[in-house]
Structure formats: structure tokens, C-alpha cells
Chains A and B, each alone.
Chain A
């Protein structure tokens, strides 16, 4: 609150002058507040910072320097980053293969599902029931569906030729798991995407839809011409949220792709095995791998921080 009053007259002042005035007007209580906030920031950053400096240290520097200290000039190396990129690059590509389509499809499906459930002339109790069944899907632990899911993809889908389109498209055998991941993530993404769009559509003006309806527009037309074009901001939120979730998920990749040696192994799977398949004590390699694997979601976070916050808070 003091913040705002300071800012209004501080537009023209130089930075140092403003800083001095801020410091002068700062009470002890304010100062304490900033100290606590900075300490908290340190708490969140130190594990990441420690990982980053460790990833560029030589083996001896890791042992000799403090875990949070940067390496000296003699202890600096990019060797582990090179090794991590070599080990994980293939995984990054594989993750993109399912994370991008699954994100886009699930966002779109969530949008039309929510739209269908927002149409005014529907009895509230039925709508609430359907919505409750969908939303409950967000909270069901994946473990509760894991064995049937494996059964479904490994036996049932093949018995019933459900996957024939995969072979018809010429997808190599190793990559069937990628297709399965897309379908699985879309199915399990419907609940959260629907909920997010539903909260958004509820606030959208109903008169607009109503008047278009009275002009004789079909629901499909209303969606295409009115609702979809207005959904941009929510699509941004949902796409970012879903991409992060799908990219970060390990469990489904573990049971659908199963081994990190598979040519189709996603990056999380390779990273999770990095400690065992390579030398377990090689912390520099682990850290370099962690950063490399996190690059896409970190980029999303840095560029779309506000949308990300909105997505997780919704």
C-alpha cells in the first residue's frame, strides 16, 4: 500500500534517489518483512542453484568446494552437460512426440466438453451430476487404474484391433507406446481441462449465446463463431498447465513405455534411470541431466509465469 503512493511520485526520480527515499521511509517492520521474504526466496532457490553449480564442476571440485559455491576456474567443466545432452536429447524428442499432441487435443476436448455443460437449458441437477463425475476424475490416483490400463493397452487393444490405425499409419513398433501415451493423457486430461474451461465459460456473458441462439444459430456455430474465439486466454492457461503436467509425468511413461533403453523412451524415464544406469554417484551428471530435462517446462514457466500461476491456482 505504501508501495503505490511511493510509486506515483517516483516516476521521474532516478533509481538511486528513489531507492534512498524507500530506505528512509522503511520501518523496522518493513525491513524485517523483506528479510523474511528474501530468506524464503533463498530456500526455494538454493536447491536449484546448488544443482546448477554442481552440474558444471569437475569431480574433484564437487568434493572440495561447498555445494552451493561456484567452481573455481580450474574446477569448471561442461563435460557433464555434454554427456547429459547426449543421453537425454533422444528423450526430449520422444517426450515432445506425445506431450505436444496430447496437450493440444486435451485442451480442445476440455473446451468443447465444458461448453456442452454450460449451455443454459439443462437442468442444474443433471449438469451438476455429470460435472461431479468428471471433476472427481481429477483426484483419482493413477495407481487405481494402472493395472487395467496396462491390460487394456497390452492385450485388449491389440485383441480388438483397436491399435490397427497405429500400424496403418506406419508407426514403428517401438513407438506404439507414444500413441498410447497420447490417448491416455487425453483421457485423463479431460477432467482438469473441462473444469478450467467450465469456470471460465460460467463467467462468460450468457446473453451473447442466448441472442445468437434466438437468431437460429446451432450450438456448433455458436461455439465456432463466439465461444471458441473468446476462449484464447483460457486456452493459454490450459495448454501451459497440461503441457507441464504431461511432460513431467513419470508413472504413465513407466508402465506404457517401460524401459529407458527403448528408442521411444521419454526424457523423464531416462533421467529417472540416469543414477542407476550410469554411475549413481555422478552428481554433476544427474544435475546437468535434471536441468536439461527441465528446460522445456522451465522455458514455459519463465515466459508464461502468470498463466502458469493462474492455471495451478484455478
Chain B
């Protein structure tokens, strides 16, 4: 929250400057280091080497490494190691009944196969639609709720609690609720549209509608999250900005559009990135709707197709290739985000 909002750079600058100062001091400060380093590294040459590394990286580097290197390695192997391994597998023909992938004959066959697979293309298009529509819709709903809640209302906490409630539930649980909402015979969705004389509609059985029905359910689950992030962003905007806009005679709508919303850029970016991650996890939701690997027709996304190919059809290499495509999509979002955070001195 704070990360996204506080301009923070002044603070960070101070840290950096202090670090620079210490760098200069450190060259003659070897004595202090001796104290803090464990006494068993007595041998001279090793000490010199360590001091050399210290000089390069900072005096606390070695001592602090015990805290972060093991977790970093564990996480690095499980994430980056696994992604590289996954890429290797995607270059093989690994399929059912094989004991281990055969790495002797690597090619991009699985990727050309994907391009020729209309199911893959459909899933890729659906993934794109889902990510964009879900993220944009959720952000919009969250922003509106945050603005309404931020107007000094009573029972603010109760409203916030209610709006955020669905997020504490798992996809598996919310999928049960929405199966019932979308039920053809007695679901609330059909009752509501029945009020205006439309329907009933087979929400999950109609290929052109099902994806939007799923997106709507996901928006229900996560718009409270967007609201919380935006609320924090709104609270970080000084009151003077509102007052100045009022003094200038701006209408409420204009004030938000011209003055307030542009200041929520940081909140929007971090919320959008996290929402895309949730969108990628929609696999859980789609699996739970049907209790299996084959989501309703028209709602197949890369995440479900990948797991289905690998675990139901045992096309391991093909599944791995789809996973790499998914990874590339994620990278397209993460990369710019991390650069942005780095520029803002938030790392």
C-alpha cells in the first residue's frame, strides 16, 4: 500500500546518501568488521579475500548473506530453475509412458503445433479477453466504490468489510456460489433478467456468453481488492488538492477526473498487476465449475488448456510449451512493472 503511494524517494535518497558515506568510511574501518564477523574465519588470506569482497559489495554483505541467500536459492530454484527446466521440456517430445524426458533431440515442434491448434488460438484469445476485461472492469468498479466510501460516510468499516469479503474465499468456493447463481432453472441471474422480461439464458452453456459470465464472477470476487488499493491511494492525496479544485470551481466529476484520478496512477499500476495474477489463477475457478479439466465450451483459457494437456492428456511437452507462452505473457506485464518500481526507488 505504502509502497505504491508514498512518493518515498526523498526517504530513499537519504538511505542511499548515507550508504555512500559509509562506503567512503569503510576503507579504513576494517577493525569494526573484525568484531562483527564470526571468529572462526581467522586465516589471513581468507580474511583478505573476504575484505576484498566486502570492499566490492559492502561490509555487511557477507554477514547478511546468511539471511537471504538460502531462501533466495530455494525460491530461485523453484521459480527460475523450474521455468528453465520447463522450457527444456517444452523442446522435447515428452509424452505419456516415458520415464523421463529425452533431452537429446530438442526442437520447437511443440510451438509450431500450438500455432496450428485452433484450440490453442481460442484459449489464447480468451486469456487475453479475460485478463483485459477482468482487470479493467475490476479496477473501474473498485475505483467507484473507493470514491464513494471515501466521502466520509458512516459505517465505512462495515461497507469495506462486505465489499472485501469475497476475496477471503477460494475460487473453489465461489465457483459453487456462481454455479447456483447461473443455474438455468432457479438461478438468481435468470430471475433478475426475468424481471425485465428477458431470458432465461443458459449462462454457462452458451459459448458466446460463458466467458463473460466467468469474468463477471471474478469481478465480483476481486473488486473489493481494487477498492482497498484505491482507498489507500485516495487517503494519500492531501485534502488541499480537493479544496483547490473546489476553489477553482470544478464540479465533483471534473475534480475526480482531472485532479484526483491522475494521482492514482501508482495504485492503478500495482492493482492491475496483481489482478492479472489473479486472472491467471482463474484455472481454479473454471476447474471447480465442472469438477474437471474441461471447462465449459467457450471458456477455455491457456491456464486450463495447459493443465489439461499435461495432466489429463499426458502431453507433457505440449503442456510445457503452452506454459512458456503463458509465462511470456506474464513477463510482458512484470518486466515493465519492475522497471517502474525501480525508477520510483521502491525496490
Contacts and interface: CB of A to CB of B under 8 A. Distances in A.
Contacts of A46: 188
Contact of B165 (A48, A152, A273, A277): A48
Interface string B24-35: 001000000001
Interface stretch (B199-207, B257-265, B283-291): B283-291
A139 B334 contact: yes
Given A297-B170, A298-B169, A120 B60 contact: yes
Nearest to A200: B2
B310 interface: yes
Contacts of B64: 116-117, 119, 122, 219
B326 A144 contact: yes
A100 interface: no
A216 B231 CA distance: 43
Interface stretch (B111-119, B132-140, B316-324): B316-324
Contact of A137 (B63, B79, B99, B180): B79
A47 interface: yes
A280 to B, nearest CB: 7
A48 B167 CA distance: 12
B145 A40 contact: yes
Given A293-B172, A313-B232, A54 B283 contact: no
B169 A115 contact: no
A68 B188 contact: yes
A130 B338 CA distance: 12
A294 B177 CA distance: 12
Nearest to B178: A47
Interface residues of A, number: 117
A313 B1 contact: yes
Contacts of B177: 47-48, 50-51, 287, 290
Contacts of B145: 40
A3 B283 CA distance: 43
Contacts of B302: 143
Nearest to A268: B172
A309 B316 CA distance: 39
A151 B311 CA distance: 12
Contact of B66 (A116, A294, A305): A116
Contact of B18 (A45, A120, A145, A289): A120
Interface string B44-56: 0000000000000
Contacts of B78: 145, 149, 184, 187-188
B176 A276 contact: no
Contacts of A255: 307, 311
Nearest to B168: A301
B311 to A, nearest CB: 6
Contact of B180 (A22, A51, A194): A51
B299 interface: no
Contacts of B284: 248-251, 268, 272
B182 to A, nearest CB: 10
Contacts of A43: 220
A146 B177 CA distance: 28
Interface residues of B, number: 119
Given A148-B82, A294-B173, A312-B225, A122 B58 contact: yes
Contacts of B232: 313
Contacts of A40: 145, 148, 159, 163
A300 B167 CA distance: 12
Interface string A76-88: 0000000000000
A115 B91 CA distance: 39
A92 interface: no
Contacts of B181: 47, 50, 67
B1 A37 contact: no
B65 interface: yes
B130 interface: no
Nearest to B267: A313
Interface string A9-24: 0000000000000100
B185 to A, nearest CB: 7
Nearest to A131: B347
Interface string A133-144: 111111111111
Contact of B291 (A3, A36, A54, A276): A276
A254 B3 CA distance: 34
B347 A139 contact: no
A146 B273 CA distance: 21
B238 interface: no
B180 A67 contact: yes
Given A139-B334, A251-B283, 16 more contacts: A37-B159, A41-B163, A67-B181, A112-B67, A126-B58, A134-B75, A152-B82, A187-B78, A203-B2, A248-B171, A250-B172, A271-B288, A272-B291, A277-B291, A290-B176, A294-B170
12 contacts: A4-B152, A121-B61, A132-B347, A139-B333, A145-B86, A147-B320, A151-B85, A199-B2, A250-B172, A250-B288, A287-B177, A290-B173
Interface of A: 1-4, 22, 33-34, 36-37, 40-41, 43-48, 50-51, 54, 62-63, 66-68, 109-110, 112-113, 115-117, 119-124, 126-128, 130-152, 155, 184, 186-188, 190-191, 194, 199, 203, 206, 213, 216, 218-220, 223, 244, 247-251, 254-255, 268, 271-277, 280, 283, 286-287, 289-291, 293-294, 297-298, 300-301, 305, 308-310, 312-314
